[in-house]
């Protein structure tokens, strides 16, 4: 159970959510019948070693809810108090998301990333309000609101995906909304600037995109970068985050430019592979594998990653002066901890 009360969520977030939260994608046994506990523990230990202060237990893969909750329990058991275990509230409908968030709370999660199901088709701000409030009301955990183009709200509701007027209502009525992952109107920095200006004294504002985090942190305070595939860069994003917090902007800028070759390749491939308004978790798992994370097979249905894409992602890290795994690509599909 979380170490704070529901009405203390914002104070807890201001104190505890300082740093970088990566993503842990579930790993499975080679026959894909079970989750792979050894691999999950491996990824959890490596996230701690790399300096992440939290991790998102990704749910947007082919996994049952009981398996997912056990996945969170394993992360929590391995990490103890060394990571903020974050529940990925991305399930099929409202009822299942309420069941999942309650189960995640019991499993040891402390934080929630709120998403919206593909079958959720709001036609008004009120529809979004009602869904969001229902999830928030179902848990005592701190919740991170997530304005984002993936939900498809911009064409019907507002170009910023979740408008500031609606965020205002939700903050007033949901005391456990403690953070905003400000990607509204992506690609744009307006959302994070608007959210910081309007709500930054009440809740934590997260900038999860490192290519914007590094420059923006030099002109505005940002205490959280959550949640993203930061593991592609190994320990560098937690390191640069510390430099930014210490005001060492020249050193942080040097890292920004060091990473630029990898950033450009990752961005170009994301546009190619993340079609259908869905993130290619297979690609994210491969990115982590390049930095020592488990990798391993994912169940169908899953998006794919092919040799040219894997080669490009590895070359980006090499061009950035990093040392990615040079193991044969076939080893990614086996995983570092086969079971």
Quick one: pLDDT at residue 278?
A: 77
At 1, the pLDDT band (50, 70, 90 cuts) reads confident
Give the mean pLDDT of 58-64: 98
At 209, the pLDDT band (50, 70, 90 cuts) reads very high
The model's pLDDT over 257-304, given as tens digits with 9 standing for 90+, comes to: 999 999 999 999 888 876 667 799 999 999 999 999 999 999 999 999
Q: What domains can be seen in the chain, in order of their start residue? A: 6-257 (3.20.20.70)
Please check whether residue 209 is in contact with residue 228, taking contact to mean a CB–CB distance below 8 angstroms.
yes
Q: Among all chains, which residue has been given the structure tokens 């491939």? A: 269
The model's pLDDT over 141-193, given as tens digits with 9 standing for 90+, comes to: 999 999 999 999 998 999 999 999 999 999 999 999 999 999 999 889 999 99
* Ramachandran sector of residue 22 (left: φ over 0; alpha: ψ -120 to 50; beta: rest): beta
59 has a pLDDT exceeding 90? yes
The model's pLDDT over 71-101, given as tens digits with 9 standing for 90+, comes to: 999 999 999 999 999 999 999 999 999 999 9
Which segment of 23-32, 51-60, 268-277 scores lowest on mean pLDDT?
A: 268-277
Q: Give 20's strand partners.
A: 225
Using CA atoms, how far apart are residues 305 and 292, in angstroms rounded to an integer?
18
The CA-based diameter of the chain, rounded to the nearest angstrom, is 53
314 has a pLDDT exceeding 90? yes
19 has a pLDDT exceeding 80? yes
How many CB atoms sit inside 10 A of residue 276's CB? 9
Give the mean pLDDT of 32-50: 98
Burial classification of residue 189, based on how many CB atoms lie within 10 Å of its CB (0-12 exposed, 13-18 middle, 19 or more buried):
middle
Quick one: pLDDT at residue 284?
A: 97
Phi, psi (deg, nearest 5) at residue 100: -65, -45
Give the mean pLDDT of 312-319: 98
Average pLDDT, the chain: 97
Alpha-carbon torsion 257, 258, 263, 265, what sign? Answer: positive
Q: What percent of the chain clears pLDDT 70, i.e. is strictly above it?
A: 99
Quick one: pLDDT at residue 253?
A: 98
Quick one: pLDDT at residue 275?
A: 61
122 has a pLDDT exceeding 70? yes
Quick one: pLDDT at residue 271?
A: 81
């Amino acid at each position: 159970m979380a170490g704070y009360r529901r009405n203390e969520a914002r104070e807890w977030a201001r104190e505890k959510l300082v740093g970088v939260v990566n993503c842990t994608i579930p790993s499975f046994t080679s026959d894909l019948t079970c989750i792979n506990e050894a691999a999950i523990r491996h990824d959890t230990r490596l996230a701690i070693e790399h300096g992440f202060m939290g991790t998102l237990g990704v749910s947007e893969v082919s996994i049952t809810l009981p398996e997912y909750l056990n996945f969170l329990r394993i992360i929590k058991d391995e990490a103890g108090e060394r990571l903020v275990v974050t529940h990925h509230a991305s399930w099929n409908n409202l009822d299942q998301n309420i069941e999942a968030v309650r189960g995640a709370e019991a499993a040891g999660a402390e934080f929630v990333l709120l998403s919206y199901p593909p079958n959720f088709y709001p036609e008004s701000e009120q529809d979004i309000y009602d869904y969001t409030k229902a999830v928030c009301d179902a848990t005592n955990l701190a919740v991170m609101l997530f304005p984002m183009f993936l939900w498809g709200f911009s064409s019907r509701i507002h170009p910023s995906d979740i408008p500031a007027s609606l965020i205002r209502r939700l903050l007033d009525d949901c005391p456990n909304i403690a953070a905003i992952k400000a990607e509204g109107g992506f690609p744009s920095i307006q959302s994070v600037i608007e959210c910081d200006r309007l709500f930054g004294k009440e809740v934590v504002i997260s900038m999860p995109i490192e290519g914007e985090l590094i420059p923006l942190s030099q002109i505005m305070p940002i205490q959280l970068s959550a949640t993203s595939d930061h593991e592609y860069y190994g320990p560098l994003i937690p390191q640069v985050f510390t430099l930014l917090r210490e005001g060492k902007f020249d050193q942080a800028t040097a890292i920004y430019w060091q990473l630029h070759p990898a950033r450009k390749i990752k961005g170009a491939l994301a546009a190619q592979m993340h079609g259908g308004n869905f993130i290619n978790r297979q690609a994210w798992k491969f990115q982590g594998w390049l930095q020592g994370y488990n990798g391993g097979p994912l169940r169908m249905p899953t998006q794919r990653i092919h040799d040219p894409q894997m080669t490009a992602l590895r070359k980006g890290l090499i061009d950035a002066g990093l040392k990615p795994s040079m193991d044969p690509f076939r080893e990614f599909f086996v995983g570092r901890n086969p079971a």
